[in-house]
Amino acid sequence: MTLIEIIVALAIFAIMSVGFYGAFATIFINMYQSSQITENLFESQQLIEERIADVKLKLKNGLASEVTEDRESFVFFSGTNQRTVYAYHLTENMINGKVIETLVAENRPPQLEVPIINTDVIIGAKTGSVDMPYPNIASRESMSIGLKADVGVNNEGILIQHLYYWYISKPGVYTVSEPPEFPDDYELLAGYTSKNINSIPESFGGRFFVLLVTPVGEKGAMGTSVPSNALFISNLPVYNNLLLHYDASLINKSNPSEFDNINNRVLRWVDAGNLKLASTSPPSNKPMIESFVYGDEGQKETYGVSRSTMSSDQTLTSSKPNPQISKSNLTVYLVMNFDSVNGTAASKTILHSRSDNNNNRNKFIMRTSTTGQLELVRYSDNGSTSVVTNQSDYRTDKWDIIKLEIYTTSSGGISIRRDIQKNSDTFSFNSNQTSTSTNNNLTLTPFSLSFAHGYSIGEVMIYDGITAKSDEDLILEYLHDKYYP
């Protein structure tokens, strides 16, 4: 009985399999035929599109006599509105017997003209109505950016309007010499569609901007978009009372009057503060720019100016305004990196507030002492001096923030601050408030930066007056974000 049951089951399974086999065969054949038809459809469509393009090209070039396709006429409307249109009939046969056909009109409408921008698109920064020269450092509350001149096109008659698209650089390490690449390193600034941005929020600080202008012609036809120059907005938070500002990252390596690319030498260091004093090119022994990278992937990069040769010291001196600038009290923030092994030697002047004054009066200098410490020296109106020495070891192989407070009637104080953390303690001063015979204001300019062996200068900021605690907190946060990993 078991054998009989197995034989019967196999017979039933065989009968069922024959039915399924027929169904599968039919499905496979239909799928194959459908794929062939689809492939032939795409091939036929490609062939007829090529023929359409050929007919259009011949009509455009006035070669209608060379068109071999059948020419047919079609009558539309009636009476005074009757029109006759001529067209070329194109067909393409498919393997299933079907036909693809189309008509190409002989009378082609003229191609829409588009305006073409024929001037450079230049954007700049303003404070009120005053142009801000690069670098654009100012109170962002009163700063605006936008087109410096109207954009010209080749045919004003067909121009309807310009479309404006603002782009902002993505977070990254960029300088004036190494700006972000457009458009790869930028992202669209949503919500800004005017040619000007009249209010600059704090989040825009430290970023580059590009304005993309697209001309629009008749019936909405768009011309080629043209990007502007890349514009940098500084993130320096305290601009009021800023007299002088040297920043190594703002030295323009692409400007031959500022930098010698062949020999990697700094020719001029442009003051970004209110005085706008560019250093004069030194006759010889020019310093160089060094870069400092933090993190395995170069997440933060800073720049400093340092001595370029072992043979002698080097100096960059600012131009001398007429009349010279006289101030009473000053606050100086200086960012420096001293080598821990070969730090600068004793009795080296680093900052000099009046280098061409042979009488040594009404000025200040910062130097290393005879014992290798940092000193602030205040010269009075009769040439006498008052000295403050900071005993901290400043040779740390990293950026330190040095603060000087300089007064009309006393030498003031000097302090070094390292390992800056946001919202941390204030400076701790080694100070000397002893009264001197000083009666006259400080003569600030010309101003010299001296470069000796063993250190780099990243940034110098001189503020008129003694900086308020609230402003100092903002300045230190700015320096922290810039110089610390």
Task: Check residue 415 and give its pLDDT.
Answer: 64
What gap in Å lies between CA 323 and CA 374, rounded to an integer? Answer: 31
Using CA atoms, how far residue 126 sits from 197, 219, 344, 348, 423, in Å, is 10, 36, 41, 40, 32
Using CA atoms, how far residue 289 sits from 258, 345, 458, in Å, is 12, 21, 9
CA 230 to chain centre: 6
Query: 281 and 425 in contact (C-beta within 8 Å)?
Result: no
How many C-beta atoms lie closer than 10 Å to residue 128's C-beta?
10
Q: Considering only CA atoms, give the Rg of the chain.
A: 38
CA atoms within 13 A on the CB side of 173: 17
Predicted model pTM: 0.70
Q: Which amino acid is at 476?
A: L
Q: Write down all domains in the chain, each with its CATH number in brackets.
A: 2-105 (no CATH), 123-233 (2.60.40), 242-483 (2.60.120.200)
pLDDT 10s per residue in the chain (485 long)?
788 878 877 878 777 776 667 666 677 777 777 777 778 778 888 888 888 888 888 888 888 888 888 888 888 888 888 888 888 998 888 777 788 889 988 876 667 788 999 999 999 988 888 887 777 776 777 888 999 988 999 888 888 999 999 999 987 767 777 788 999 999 999 989 999 999 888 888 888 999 999 999 888 889 999 999 999 888 888 888 888 899 998 888 888 888 988 888 998 888 887 777 777 777 678 899 988 877 665 567 888 999 888 778 888 888 777 667 788 888 899 999 888 876 677 788 899 888 766 677 888 888 888 777 788 888 877 777 778 777 667 777 888 888 888 877 655 566 665 444 444 444 444 444 343 344 567 787 788 899 988 899 999 999 998 888 888 888 888 888 888 76
Which of 421, 365, 373 minimizes the C-alpha distance to 393?
A: 373
Query: 446 and 322 in contact (C-beta within 8 Å)?
Result: no
**Cis before 323? omega within 30:** yes
Which of 412, 409, 408 minimizes the C-alpha distance to 390?
A: 412
Instruction: Give the containing element (helix H, strand E) for 308.
Output: none
142: left (phi over 0), alpha (psi -120 to 50) or beta: alpha
Query: 320 and 430 in contact (C-beta within 8 Å)?
Result: no
DSSP 141: T
What gap in Å lies between CA 192 and CA 163, rounded to an integer? Answer: 11
Query: 184 and 127 in contact (C-beta within 8 Å)?
Result: no
| Spatial CB neighbours of 121, under 8 Å, sequence gap ≥ 6 | 147, 151, 211, 213, 226, 227, 228, 229
